Amino acid sequence: MRSPGEGVHVAVVGYGYWGSKHVRVLCSMPSVAVTVVDEHTGRLAEALSRHPGIRVAEHVHDVLDDVDAVVVATPPGSHAAVALAALDAGCHVLVEKPLTTTVPDAETLVDRARRADVRLMVGNTFEYNPAVARLREIVRSGVLGRILYIDTARLSLGRYQSDVNVVWDLAPHDISIVSYLLDEMPAATAVWAQRNIGRRHADIAYLRLSFERSRTQAFVHVSWLDPNKVRRVTVVGDRKMAVYNDLSDTERIRIYDAGVDSTTLDGSPEAHAMPVTYRTGDITSLAVPYSEPLLVQDQHFLSCVRTGETPRTPGSRGLDIVRVLATADDMGGSWPMVSGGFVPAPIAPGSATTPVAAS
Ligand SMILES: NC(=O)c1ccc[n+]([C@@H]2O[C@H](COP(=O)([O-])OP(=O)(O)OC[C@H]3O[C@@H](n4cnc5c(N)ncnc54)[C@H](O)[C@@H]3O)[C@@H](O)[C@H]2O)c1
């Protein structure tokens, strides 16, 4: 165990869109030395011009003897190989979502970290987002009533990925958020996916996630082919409803005192009567103080490196999410044309190995 302020040397592997953000937040922390690894020298030159104090290298194997921890921010298909090399060198490892692109690879990482007694964490960034934590408090407080369903939308024009489809790219966020809100992993999933552009990957998809203990469903819509950028989670309860809009600066969470009551299900003989009555009341906007989720997440990772504490989002949580994604693939999510998921597929035994909210 180290003292809280003791120096830590971290290598960030992959200085692309997201790895560059890790480097920015890590460089802002005291007592943290950063080495950037990227196989493209142009990316290394860019990193050095922004952060003159860092070291750089082209291959992860060249730095493993010198660093305490590794952040893996390469494309998903290379996560397993890079993370395994780092774990085998005795480094603590934070892997971006999705943890890996296969269940066996994710199981290997979790097992190898346990044997090496190093911390393995998955970058479920939204679980470090104060607005998501607040929404979780609201769901758990019971103020919304029984959760009838959750709907999520993560849409925009791009960014098309080369090694995974839209489900593996975007749905990890929504599976992470929804299971965190409900404190439960889904027991079954169904997927409809379609490839519109290119020859390889589905670029729009709808998933249904079934939660047994909560007796509810989540509907996840992900798309690389939508004119509007949308990042929204709607939680519909039988008393109130909540909407989390991650793109709003001032009104991230709104609570709607609204609902619908059935009037005929209790045996009313009025065949032509309105089948429901509507309740509409106040709309409340909650003040949620902003902290950058990636900064909170990376601070937590370094705290785990220093203290030996188990991360809130350990590798086993990443494995549970990979199991859901792999089940969606088995239903055809990776196939080019529309795939039908009319009967939910149970997620393989051994899933939900990790308490969803460790804190
Ligand atoms: N948590 C989030 O909100 C979030 C957001 C975006 C992306 N991501 C994840 O971050 C990861 C990176 O995504 P991105 O959009 O930044 O990709 P990117 O393509 O922009 O960047 C990847 C970088 O990795 C480098 N690279 C690839 N293989 C390498 C290897 N073996 N060794 C060294 N360098 C290598 C490439 O040269 C490139 O610079 C993905 O896993 C993605 O899912 C997470």
Q: What is the pLDDT, as a whole number, of residue 30?
A: 95
Q: What is the whole-number distance in angstroms between the Cα of residue 292 and the centre of ligand 1?
A: 19
The rounded distance, in Å, linking the Cα atoms of 249 and 196 is: 32
Q: What is the whole-number distance in angstroms between the Cα of residue 76 and the centre of ligand 1?
A: 7
Q: Residue 80 is inside which H or E element, if any?
A: helix 79-88
- Provide the 8-state DSSP code for 98: S
Burial 147-176 (b: 16+ CB within 10 A, else e): bbebbbbbbbeeeebeebbbbbbbbbbbbb
Q: What is the whole-number distance in angstroms between the Cα of residue 301 and the centre of ligand 1?
A: 18
Q: What is the whole-number distance in angstroms between the Cα of residue 130 and the centre of ligand 1?
A: 24
Residue whose pair of structure tokens reads 């965190």 in the numeric block:
180
CA distances from 258 to 4, 147, 262 (A): 47, 14, 14
Q: What is the whole-number distance in angstroms between the Cα of residue 346 and the centre of ligand 1?
A: 31
Pocket of ligand 1, candidates 70, 74, 301: which has the most ligand atoms within 8 Å of its Cβ, to mutate?
Answer: 74
- Provide the 8-state DSSP code for 109: H
CA distances from 200 to 80, 165, 353 (A): 21, 8, 32
3-state helix, strand, coil in the chain (%, to 5): 30, 30, 40
DSSP collapsed to 3 states, 170-182 = HHHHHHHHHHHHH
CA dihedral 313, 51, 292, 125 (to 10 degrees): -30
Ligand 1 atom closest to residue 159's alpha carbon, by position in its atom list: 15
Ligand 1 atom closest to residue 43's alpha carbon, by position in its atom list: 39
Name which residue sits closest to atom 18 of ligand 1, judged by CA: 16
pLDDT in tens, the chain (359 residues): 566 667 999 999 999 999 999 999 999 999 999 999 999 999 999 999 999 999 999 999 999 999 999 999 999 999 999 999 999 999 999 999 999 999 999 999 999 999 999 999 999 999 999 999 999 999 999 999 999 999 999 999 989 999 999 999 999 999 999 999 999 999 999 999 999 998 889 999 999 999 999 999 999 999 999 999 999 999 999 999 999 999 998 899 999 999 998 876 555 556 667 788 998 999 999 999 999 999 999 999 999 999 999 999 999 999 999 999 999 887 654 433 333 444 567 787 665 556 676 54
Q: What is the pLDDT, as a whole number, of residue 3?
A: 63
Domains in the chain with CATH codes: 8-124 (3.40.50.720), 127-293+322-346 (3.30.360.10)
Which residues form the pocket of ligand 1, taking CB atoms under 6 Å from any ligand atom? 13-19, 37-40, 43, 60, 73-76, 78, 82, 96-97, 123, 125
Q: What is the whole-number distance in angstroms between the Cα of residue 345 and the centre of ligand 1?
A: 30
The per-type count for the chain, helices as H runs and strands as E runs, is 8, 15
Pocket of ligand 1, candidates 24, 38, 126, 298: which has the most ligand atoms within 8 Å of its Cβ, to mutate?
Answer: 38
Name which residue sits closest to atom 31 of ligand 1, judged by CA: 78
Nearest in space to 86 (alpha carbons), one of 137, 35, 141: 35
Q: What is the whole-number distance in angstroms between the Cα of residue 168 and the centre of ligand 1?
A: 14
Between helix 19-27 and helix 293-307 the angle, nearest 10°, is 70
Are the CB atoms for 105 and 120 separated by under 8 Å? Answer: no
Nearest in space to 36 (alpha carbons), one of 54, 9, 62: 54
Name which residue sits closest to atom 6 of ligand 1, judged by CA: 18
Pocket of ligand 1, candidates 12, 15, 17: which has the most ligand atoms within 8 Å of its Cβ, to mutate?
Answer: 17
Name which residue sits closest to atom 5 of ligand 1, judged by CA: 18
Q: What is the pairing mode between strands 188-194 and 345-346?
A: antiparallel
Q: What is the pLDDT, as a whole number, of residue 143?
A: 97
Tokens of 59: 């291959």
The rounded distance, in Å, linking the Cα atoms of 239 and 28 is: 44
Q: What is the whole-number distance in angstroms between the Cα of residue 259 and the centre of ligand 1?
A: 43
Q: Is the N-terminal amide bond of 159 cis, ω within 30° of 0?
A: yes
C-alpha neighbours within 13 Å on the C-beta side of residue 263: 12
Q: What is the pLDDT, as a whole number, of residue 339?
A: 39
Q: What is the pLDDT, as a whole number, of residue 342?
A: 45
